[in-house]
Structure 1
């Protein structure tokens, strides 16, 4: 049975995007499977007292340089979104509503790309709708999922469970019970596999 990388993510995190792009190579080398768990990064920050690194000016400048450096090293197309930070609650609900279905991977791809490859303000419903249509996805279906009370509750539950497990930011990975934080810890994730 293949080992599993549990990947707790929010598409609003640029380092999560970088991790998402690096995971396929790890999967190819290890035969692992990735279990994508949508969470609300803002909810995690609120529950843990954490804050976005960019709120400290010097750290934010360094992080922007470091993300560009990492993307270049790994051949990842990356552009900082000029509208960052973007409210991702609707997108994360959409992803929660498609989790475990064949719609999940295409939707995740469109959202990550729209945030960090061809950056646009996906927090704006009109821009999100146009992006989904442009990718051949039905926005009515995805918005209906995002507004489903059961989906909303599932995203809250996943976020609360993440906090209970010790998560304080994104991206966070688990291999078994062992937690790893940050896209720059994927070498440790691979070693744990």
Structure 2
């Protein structure tokens, strides 16, 4: 059975709240669908620049809509998204994504660590309106994610290395090469073919394409009602 599992690659950046929604849904479906979920931390700034896309903050009507949209989606998906008090002042995520990349690189095969660190960073910025740029902030996220305190300093040093900078750049370029223009960017590998999906509102179609069943944003609750 393991040999027939469908690989799904999730490209994301914690700067994007919509990527958090996609992240949580795919994590919930790991044991519902027959999939091998692979996290691909990348840099949203590089995607926007490389694809020629514009930030919602540069399109006034889109920016106004985004706040209302996220409030509704937070309830629907059961993800504690709370928009920062001053979204326009949110700083970049480059340091955070290098840190996540360092975790992925140093703890290969331990996807749970990448998952937990990513989630804690999303919670800092999109639930707590907290910083994700300073080493102390990254360290706190790592501790809450369950990383050993004696390893976090090593991870912070690794995150600033040329190796990790190049790895993050390479993953971002891979997403661009696969057609990315924003996050979440999802690649499903099915029967030797790649199916690309953008956003957190394509899961019903995704399920159809990979031969699985969509049970809503919280499949465990749906199953309990059946």
TM norm. shorter chain > 0.5: yes
Match of 1:3 in 2: 6
Q: Which structure has the larger Rg over C-alpha atoms?
A: 2
- Preserved CA contact (<8 Å) 1:180 1:188: no
Q: Using a 3 Å threshold, how does the CA distance of structure 1 residues 131 and 27 change in structure 2: closer, same or farther? A: closer
Aligned residues: 193
- Preserved CA contact (<8 Å) 1:83 1:121: no
Match of 2:134 in 1: 124
Q: Which runs of 5 or more residues in structure 1 are unaligned?
A: none
- State the TM-score, normalized to the length of structure 2: 0.78
Give the whole-Å Cα distance in 2 for the aligned partners of 1:2 and 1:181. Answer: 21
Match of 1:98 in 2: 103
Matches for 1:63-142 after TM superposition, within 5 Å: 63-82=66-85, 84=87, 85-99=90-104, 100-102=108-110, 103-137=113-147, 138=149, 139-142=152-155
Name the stretch that deviates more: 81-90 or 162-171: 81-90
Superposition deviation, residue 134 in structure 1: 4.9
- State the TM-score, normalized to the length of structure 1: 0.90
Higher relative contact order (CA 8 A, sep 6+): 1
Q: Which runs of 4+ in 1 moved over 6 A?
A: none
What is the CA RMSD across the aligned residues, in angstroms? 1.9
Match of 1:13 in 2: 16
Q: Which runs of 5 or more residues in structure 2 are unaligned?
A: 211-226
